[in-house]
């Protein structure tokens, strides 16, 4: 949606590229420190992305209205 590279997300979230690669490789909710996951989520939200649903009920993303 944002056409970001891993490097872009790493710079915007402060999360290392190797951690981002582990998140991408995992299925479901990725394991990791909650602060790390929140940093990634915050970077996306600041760019206009909204997280919707839950892992159990159709999780997804959309542009923030």
User: Along the 65 residues of the chain, how does pLDDT read in single tens digits?
Assistant: 999 999 999 999 999 999 999 999 988 777 778 999 999 999 999 999 999 998 788 889 999 98
Q: How far apart are the first and last CA of the chain?
A: 15
What pLDDT was estimated at residue 39? 96
Q: Residue 28: its pLDDT value, please?
A: 73
- In 46-63, which positions are buried (b, 16+ CB within 10 angstroms) versus exposed (e)? eeeeeeeeeeeeeeeeee
CA–CA distance, 63 with 35 (Å, rounded to integer): 23
Give residue 52's pLDDT: 93
CA distance 13 to 28: 20
| Backbone dihedral region for residue 24 (phi beyond 0: left; psi -120 to 50: alpha; all else: beta) | alpha
């Amino acid at each position: 949606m944002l056409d970001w590279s891993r490097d872009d997300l790493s710079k915007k979230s402060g999360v290392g590229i190797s951690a981002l690669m582990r998140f991408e490789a995992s299925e479901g909710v990725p394991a990791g420190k909650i602060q790390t996951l929140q940093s990634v989520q915050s970077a996306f939200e600041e760019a206009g992305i909204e997280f919707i649903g839950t892992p159990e009920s159709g999780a997804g993303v959309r542009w923030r209205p």
